[in-house]
Amino acid sequence: MNRLARCLLPIATVVVAMQGVRSPQTNPPVERDLVAPPDVKAALRGACYDCHSNQTAWPWYTAVAPASWIIHRDVDVGRKRLNFSSWGDYADDPGTLARKLDEIAQSIAAGDMAPWYYRMLHPGAQLGDVQRRSLLAWVKQERAAQTAFAH
Amino acid sequence: MKLKSILTLVRRRARVTLLPAALVLLLGPCADRAEGAAPDSETLPQITVEHGRFEPSELVVPANTAFKLRVTNKDSATIEFESFELHRERAVEPGETITVFMPSLSPGSYKFVDDFHSDTPEGVIVAR
């Protein structure tokens, strides 16, 4: 056995062993998904839905550790924080809906969503200026509708 | 003569139907008070945040009934009342009381946290 093989063998063994730690790739039923204009929905689907909905696309590499661990964590946290598939639940409490809309606006304005490593793998997830403006206009419109409804 | 008797009859009928209605309107609120009914805000389930703790930390509510929950922040910093399981997220300013519309819950336990303060012990809503 040459030196290279002697180095690679333990690494390969560890990588293979890592594949034994698996998380299920689940997409729970979508019951109360967001209803929004088509351009808004398309932008959110492209940039957000993989982590912030129950309609996650699970490509092959999402089953390969250690990438799978990071992706599963992102999806778990993402769904907990904001899940477009539960939008109807948020809407049942106007204060929660307002908070979610404000947080979406903040994230879009700050440009911190989607994370850089996600955008590297999904170039289509990068929101362009037109999409960003359209999303911010939608948030503003929804908030105004809420305020009008409350008074 | 006939017209006079009709008018008398109408007056009597009016007395018979209107008097109880007037009594109900006048005494209705008193009856409510007599039964100990409190204003709406007092009967709503309530959670208070004080000294970095939820009080009560376990709130029991009836299962299968939507309800309104009042959350009061008696601390000096803004808190975020959040339940991931119930899809509720609300910021509460110091001294403020908010009303959260809660869904009808299946029997079980549902956690809530102050998402702005990870050291605040989590609370639980128990639907029975």
Task: Write the CA distances from B123 to B22, B53, B61, B75, B110, integer angstroms.
Answer: 48, 9, 14, 16, 8
Q: CA A113, CA A107: separation in Å to the nearest integer?
A: 6
Tell me the range of A49-58, B6-15, B23-32 where mean pLDDT is highest: A49-58
Quote the CA–CA distance of A110 and A38 in Å, as a whole number: 23
Quick one: pLDDT at residue A150? 59
Contact: A96, B98; criterion CB under 8 Å: no
Q: What percent of chain B has pLDDT over 70?
A: 67
Give the mean pLDDT of B14-38: 44
pLDDT attached to residue B22: 46
Chain A / chain B CB contacts < 8 angstroms: 31
CA nearest to A78 within chain B: B84
> Which of A142, A52, A53, A129 shows the shortest CA–CA distance to A101?
A142
pLDDT at A36 over 90: yes
Nearest-angstrom CA–CA distance, B96 and B1: 70
Of all residues in chain A, the percent with pLDDT exceeding 70 is 97
CB contact under 8 A, B89 and A89: no
> Can you give the pLDDT at residue B9?
54
Residues of B near A (CB-CB distance < 8 A)? 84, 86-91, 98-103
Placement of tokens 């299920």 in the chain: A24
Give the dihedral sign, CA B92/B97/B101/B107.
positive
Distance of residue A4 Cα from the nearest chain B Cα, in angstroms: 48
**Coil/strand/helix, residue B88:** strand
More confident residue, A75 or A147: A75
**Rounded to an integer, what distance in angstroms lies between the CA atom of residue A93 and that of residue B86?**
11
Dihedral sign for Cα A20, A23, A25, A26, please: positive
Would you call B101 and A90 a contact, using CB atoms and an 8 Å cutoff?
A: no
Print burial letters for B41-60: b (CB count within 10 Å at least 16), e (below 16): eeeebebebeeeebeeeebe
Nearest to A117 by CA among A129, A105, A125, A109: A125
Residue whose pair of structure tokens reads 């959040």 in the numeric block:
B82
Q: Which of B46, B42, B41 is nearest to B70 (CA)?
A: B46
What pLDDT is recorded for position A7? 84
Q: For residues B115 and B89, is the Cβ–Cβ distance under 8 A?
A: yes
- Chain-wide mean pLDDT for chain A? 88
pLDDT(B33) > 60: no
Q: Which residue of A has its CA nearest to B66?
A: A92
State pLDDT tens for residues A86-136: 999 999 999 999 999 999 999 998 888 888 888 888 888 888 899 999 999
Interchain contact, A95 vs B102, CB within 8 Å: no
pLDDT band at B7 (very low <50, low <70, confident <90, very high): low
DSSP output for B35-83: TTPPPHHHHS-EEEEETTEEESSEEEE-TT--EEEEEEE-SSS-EEEEE
- What integer is the mean pLDDT of A28-56? 93
ipTM above 0.90, yes or no: no
Q: Which residues of A fall within a CB distance of 8 Å from B101?
A: 92-95
Query: What is this structure's pTM?
Result: 0.77
The minimal CB distance from B101 to the residues A80, A83, A92 is found for: A92
The pLDDT score that the predictor gives to residue A126 is 84
Do the chains contact at A99 and B102, CB–CB below 8 Å? no
Please say if the pLDDT value at position A77 is more than 60.
yes
Residue with tokens 């012990």: B121
* Cβ–Cβ below 8 Å for A93 and B101: yes
